[in-house]
Amino acid sequence: MTPPAGLARPLPPPRADLGLRQGYHSPQVPVEVRLNTNESPYPPPPEWLEALVAQARNIAFNRYPDRAARGLREALGQWHGVPPEQVFAANGSNEVLQSVCLAYGGAGRKAAMFEPTYALHAHIAHLTGTGLVQGQRRPDFTLDVTAATELLEQEDPAVVFLCSPNNPTGLAEDASTVSSIVAATAGLVVVDEAYGQFASWSALELVAEGVPLAVVRTYSKTWSMAGLRLGYLIGPSEVVKALERVALPYHLDALKQAAGRLALGFSAQMEHRVASVVAERDRLVAALSRMPVQVWPSQANFVLWRPRQRRGQEVWQGLVARSVLVRDTSSWPGLQGCLRTTVGTREENDRFLSALAEVLA
């Protein structure tokens, strides 16, 4: 369209520091087997969708939704054995993390994380004007608690992010590590458990009123609902109140609130899906261990591995040429040469393994 006379001029520049950080987005290549974004390979149960459609008929769409999302938070609270006052929900766990940074970070405050870890922790902290304290994991990706403690004492961050199981390494923290980190900082410790249900231990058991610890979960992985954009936090009610102060009014739409609540009624199906993913993950790790690659143990729905004799990028290309897409993490700091494969269905994993055998041959 031709601009109205006299109005066109150079547009104002956005903030100069908005450049996307490495590891933020995953290139989408048209392939038959997509194992790059840690989604569930299975759809949610059809009965859930039917229940949701029935619910949708009762929603007054001309009205704003329940601003406090009471029904959803009560259901989630019951599911986790905590009162609704200890539950904060948002549009995906990414929005929960953003709310944490808005409420506890910001100018003059810092957020700490231990790299390599989920790239969005640093990205969101940066976007919210929160200073970054980036500690390093050991070369085997475990957390050096003594070094971490020293760093936290020195830097005094307002927020400390842990990711367990950690994306993209797949390693989970244990009770003693999380407790030591909580003891080592005056800040709020946030354990991102986006993959929590695939792991054998959860930091949820340490969450209590008066303990500066919160756990973040999502419907995107175990619940097979990445398209729904729903995540939540379980923590002290004081933390939930602070997050509510930064959330936009009515940020959770009525349909999503119903969808999230209804999903909890299908937990047996969810557990069944999680068990298949875990079994397939262990099969993938075992198969990779017999190949010329280094593979890390995983407690999540993905596996990190590194070809021993070939460049990661080259192997990634070889897989794409065979219509298999994995995540190319080979140029991320600390992950030189590594690739990350999301656990798919048995057939998808077989496709991946045979394509990889060909590429490495």
Query: Which residues of this chain interact with ligand PMP, rule CB under 6 A?
Result: 38, 92-94, 118, 163, 167, 192, 194, 218, 220, 226, 231
- CB of residue 309 to ligand PMP, shortest distance in Å: 29
Query: Distance between CA atoms of 317 and 321, rounded to whole angstroms?
Result: 6
Given the structure tokens 């020293």, which residue do they identify? Answer: 150
- Residue 199, beta-bridge partner list: none
**Residue 225 or 324 having the CB closest to ligand PMP:** 225
What CA–CA distances, in Å, run from 224 to 50, 57, 165, 205? 16, 23, 18, 24
Q: Which is nearer to ligand PMP, 25 or 308 (CB)?
A: 25
- CA terminus-to-terminus distance, the chain: 55
Q: How far is the CB of 65 from ligand PMP (least distance, A)?
A: 19
**Closest CA relative to residue 120, chosen from 242, 224, 25, 229:** 25
Q: Which residue is nearest to ligand PMP (CB)?
A: 92
Quick one: 94 or 185, whose CB is closer to ligand PMP? 94
- Amino acid at the residue 53: V
Nearer Cβ to ligand PMP (96/353) = 96
How many CB atoms are closer than 10 A to CB 289? 12
Q: How far is the CB of 200 from ligand PMP (least distance, A)?
A: 17
* Minimum CB distance to ligand PMP smaller for 93 or for 341: 93
**CA-based torsion, 38, 42, 46, 48: positive or negative:** negative
Strands 231-234 and 293-295: unpaired
How long, in residues, is the chain?
361
Minimum distance from residue 173 beta carbon to ligand PMP (Å) = 13
Cβ at position 338, least distance to ligand PMP in Å: 16
The DSSP code for 84 is G
